[in-house]
A and B are shown apart, each in its own frame.
Chain A
Amino acid sequence: MDWSGLVDGALFASVVRALIPVLLAAMGGLVCDRAGVFNVALEGLMLIGCFAAVAGSYYSGSALVGVLVAVVCATLLAAVLAYGSVSRKADPIVLGVALNIFAVGVTGFLLVALFDVRGVFQSPEIVGLPRVRIPGLADLPGIGPVLFDLSLLGYLALVLVPVVHVLLFRFPLGLRLRGVGERPQAASTLGVNPTAYQYGAVLASGVLCGLAGAQLALGNVVQFAENMTAGRGWIAVVAVMLARANPLGTLAACVLFGFAEAFGFRLQGNGLPAQITDAAPYVVTLIALLIARRHFSRTVATAATG
């Protein structure tokens, strides 16, 4: 077994690639959490995004159309979640879990119905997201190839972290959103409509999960595989919990997950069985939860522990 060169620049590049879809979904979950909606449907929204992105790209021959279709489809599913959990006061956990299972079923069904394949759909006609090298910066030694050779969605994900942070903590919009999440009655007394903010948050998570799905299915790989999100949406939920819905902390949690996934791949290349390394991201996530215990965000903790 060759253990030398286990950690190098290429590893960090794959860490960034692994974390981007999770980060996009986690930003969606974070906004919902701040608005007081516990969104456990990230997994399903993302999976719908994956399928829609591949289908859109395949039929149109354009990755951009794929991304747009992914956003539209994931947002439509998010609208069901918003209507159910905000307007109808449905249990967001029940609704979210059911939507996740619905997403697995519907994508598997349409995979056969539209493309006549089972399991994995690959085709040269699926146009993937191009990587955009930023001239100059990409040639910096060390961080250049890691941070400045991503797809546009990759840059968007990284830029979103400070943007969401500033919006949440420096703008009236963010203040109102947080107010709605923490004290809906108080917010409503001050003329802020909680329903509108909660709808907005859930729909935004739909958009972001659509983008996450597109990045996963057109960026990280160029294919659709049944259930290809493989728990990433749940890891995004955990990332938000770990960080108590703080954007910078969520980024850190996603880096941890990305590192576990990328490092797992490396170890696999070094002869460790794939089954052991595949479990690594989930185990690392669990261990992180144990270390961070009790520092979870209020909404998530109360919603999940009852």
Chain B
Amino acid sequence: MAAEPPAAPGRGGAPGRGARWRGAVGWATGSVPVSIVLALLIGAVAIVIAGKDPLAAYRAMVEGALTGPGLANTIQRAIPIVGLAMGLAIAIRAGVFNLGAEGQMVLGGLAGTVVALEMPGPGLVVLVAACLAAVLAGALWAALSAVLQTGLGVPILITSLLLNYPARYLSSYLVRFPLRDESSSMVATAPVPEDARIAPLIPGTSGLGRSLAESLGRDDVLVLVTRGVNWSILVVLAIVGLAAFVNRRTPGGLESGLAGLNPRFARYGGVDTSRLAVSTMMISGGISGLVGVMLVLGSQYRLIEGALVGTNYAWTGLLVALLAANRPLRVLVVGTFFAALVVGGEAMQRSQDVSAQISQVIQAAVIVLIAIRVRLPLPKRSRQVREPAGTADPAAVSEAETQVGRV
């Protein structure tokens, strides 16, 4: 989809072709590329304000994100971002605006860490149990928001956001006091047992890893990637694949898509939207919780105070879901792109002394520009959608067309 030549930006492709084709072309050549370019320009202005050279900074960004150890880093970083974005995309597609991924991820990480630290038994069993505990914690925290909406009419948007704070402070309290490992200089729990960790694809210490490093050289991309990326990548890819399958091929996917497009129509068609909101939130929160524990067991090996919140993954994930219009494969593409922006931003900070938060500025700017549908001033297609003022949203309408074209 992204390979489509940007020949006609601002246009939705020739009418008469298949709706799916038109949707893909529209996404790639419409306001998306224009917005990305404009966002990069906004970023360049910010870099100039910081008194640095934007071209050198962007070069450092690209090199830092895509070459050598940076590439491994980008892939490893894309795992949580894509995972969280997928969880959020599932919710938003069903019309459930989950702003609580951060709290769900934190509680998942917390529950998983406690299980990994306390549970006796063989490593693999502990690992699986920790993941299940994390899914459960995230799902229950998210379900709380959903039940508050369906039972009491308090919007999920608000409760899920507010619930981030108790989750964050609870985890912070537990890590600082009862779970604190006094022998460490970090404010963190004790490290989880080695056999309960998520291993790199090919560990450098294994026989295969050593022979690979000998035959290809220690700095070969393949060696770096297989060493730096862990098995949680498969979990996230499976989630993306499953979501794509469910959305396209199952009644549940049809119903949730319908509920997101028009809840009243979905209810009329016999969809129990309350039950759907609860189950969607539980899936969404469960995925966030799983991402939380995978970060602990796969990268940090202990729960460090503030580490899960400090990454900003949850908010990056939300932006990814919005840019990808909640479509699983696009989430994968956009998530990797945003991970590259994050890693490249950090490289830029190291070499050019420009704050890495520039990547967050660029990401958010892309979404703002896309939301207001900035386009190149080309002649518009004649298709106009009449709408009552202040209610309908042409973006949602055109998105609805492509979605309906799919289902």
Given contacts A102-B365, A275-B176, contact A95 B360 (CB under 8 A): no
Residue with the highest number of chain A CB atoms closer than 10 Å, among B152, B372, B395: B372
Q: Which of B14-22, B135-143, B161-169, B244-252 contacts A (4 or more CB under 8 A)?
A: B161-169
- Bound CA–CA A95/B50 (angstroms): 26
Structural contact, A109 and B155, CB atoms closer than 8 A = no
Structural contact, A285 and B162, CB atoms closer than 8 A = yes
Given contacts A109-B50, A296-B153, contact A95 B166 (CB under 8 A): no
- Bound CA–CA A29/B163 (angstroms): 21
B193 in the interface, Cβ–Cβ < 8 Å?
no
Partner of B357, one of A109, A293, A296, A301: A109
Given contacts A84-B371, A106-B361, A110-B49, contact A305 B163 (CB under 8 A): no
B51 in the interface, Cβ–Cβ < 8 Å?
yes
Residue with the highest number of chain A CB atoms closer than 10 Å, among B158, B260, B359, B387: B158
B389 in the interface, Cβ–Cβ < 8 Å?
yes
Structural contact, A276 and B169, CB atoms closer than 8 A = yes
Which chain A residue has the least Cβ–Cβ distance from B387?
A89
B202 in the interface, Cβ–Cβ < 8 Å?
no
* A:16-48 near B, CB below 8 Å: 36, 40
Residue with the highest number of chain A CB atoms closer than 10 Å, among B363, B387, B390: B390
- Bound CA–CA A61/B155 (angstroms): 44
Structural contact, B49 and A113, CB atoms closer than 8 A = yes
B239 in the interface, Cβ–Cβ < 8 Å?
no
Q: Which of A161-169, A209-217, A233-241 contacts B (4 or more CB under 8 A)?
A: A233-241
B13 in the interface, Cβ–Cβ < 8 Å?
no
Structural contact, A91 and B371, CB atoms closer than 8 A = yes
List B contacts of A237 (CB < 8 A).
158
Structural contact, A282 and B389, CB atoms closer than 8 A = no
Q: Which of B116-124, B210-218, B315-323 contacts A (4 or more CB under 8 A)?
A: B315-323
Count of CB-CB pairs between chains A and B under 8 Å: 172
Partner of B390, one of A36, A84, A101: A36
- Bound CA–CA A276/B165 (angstroms): 10
A185 in the interface, Cβ–Cβ < 8 Å?
yes
Given contacts A106-B46, A185-B389, A300-B155, contact A282 B165 (CB under 8 A): yes
B208 in the interface, Cβ–Cβ < 8 Å?
no
Partner of B46, one of A88, A90, A113, A289: A113
Residue with the highest number of chain A CB atoms closer than 10 Å, among B50, B155, B388: B155
B172 in the interface, Cβ–Cβ < 8 Å?
yes
Structural contact, A80 and B158, CB atoms closer than 8 A = no
Structural contact, B97 and A93, CB atoms closer than 8 A = yes
**Closest-CB distance, B43 to chain A (whole angstroms):** 9
What 0/1 pattern do residues 39 to 54 of B give for CB contact below 8 A with A? 0000000100111000
Given contacts A90-B393, A95-B372, contact A185 B388 (CB under 8 A): yes
What 0/1 pattern do residues 81 to 110 of A give for CB contact below 8 A with B? 001100011110111011101101110111
Tally of B interface residues using CB under 8 Å = 59
Structural contact, B157 and A93, CB atoms closer than 8 A = yes
Structural contact, A306 and B393, CB atoms closer than 8 A = no
A247 in the interface, Cβ–Cβ < 8 Å?
no
Dominant SS at the A interface? helix
Structural contact, A108 and B322, CB atoms closer than 8 A = no
List A contacts of B159 (CB < 8 A).
286, 289
Partner of B361, one of A36, A102, A241, A306: A102
Structural contact, A101 and B162, CB atoms closer than 8 A = no
Structural contact, B153 and A305, CB atoms closer than 8 A = yes
**Closest-CB distance, A222 to chain B (whole angstroms):** 23
**Closest-CB distance, B268 to chain A (whole angstroms):** 15
Which chain A residue has the least Cβ–Cβ distance from B372?
A84
**Closest-CB distance, A89 to chain B (whole angstroms):** 5
What band does the interface of chain A fall in when counting residues whose beta carbon is under 8 Å from B? 35 or more
- Bound CA–CA A231/B157 (angstroms): 13
B66 in the interface, Cβ–Cβ < 8 Å?
no
Partner of A304, one of B155, B173, B364, B371: B155
Partner of B318, one of A84, A97, A108, A112: A97
List A contacts of B51 (CB < 8 A).
113
List B contacts of A99 (CB < 8 A).
364, 368
A122 in the interface, Cβ–Cβ < 8 Å?
no
- Bound CA–CA A304/B359 (angstroms): 29
B8 in the interface, Cβ–Cβ < 8 Å?
no
A130 in the interface, Cβ–Cβ < 8 Å?
no
- Bound CA–CA A279/B315 (angstroms): 20
Partner of A90, one of B153, B372, B387: B372
B170 in the interface, Cβ–Cβ < 8 Å?
yes
* B:56-83 near A, CB below 8 Å: none
Structural contact, B158 and A98, CB atoms closer than 8 A = no
List A contacts of B358 (CB < 8 A).
105, 109
A-B contacts besides A109-B358, A237-B158, 20 pairs, CB < 8 Å: A83-B372, A90-B372, A94-B367, A98-B367, A101-B319, A101-B364, A101-B367, A102-B365, A109-B360, A112-B50, A112-B357, A113-B51, A241-B158, A276-B169, A286-B159, A294-B152, A296-B153, A296-B154, A304-B97, A305-B157
- A sample of 28 inter-chain contacts (CB < 8 A) reads A36-B390, A88-B372, A89-B390, A89-B392, A90-B393, A90-B395, A91-B393, A94-B322, A95-B371, A97-B99, A97-B322, A101-B364, A102-B368, A106-B46, A108-B357, A109-B355, A113-B51, A241-B155, A276-B169, A278-B165, A282-B165, A285-B162, A290-B152, A301-B153, A304-B155, A304-B157, A305-B157, A306-B263
Q: Which residues of A contact B (CB under 8 A)?
A: 36, 40, 80, 83-84, 88-91, 93-95, 97-99, 101-102, 104-106, 108-114, 184-185, 188, 194, 198, 231, 234, 237-238, 241, 273, 275-276, 278-279, 282-283, 285-286, 289-290, 293-294, 296, 300-301, 304-306
10 smallest A-B Cβ distances: which pairs? A105-B360, A113-B50, A304-B155, A102-B364, A275-B173, A84-B372, A112-B355, A98-B367, A282-B165, A293-B152
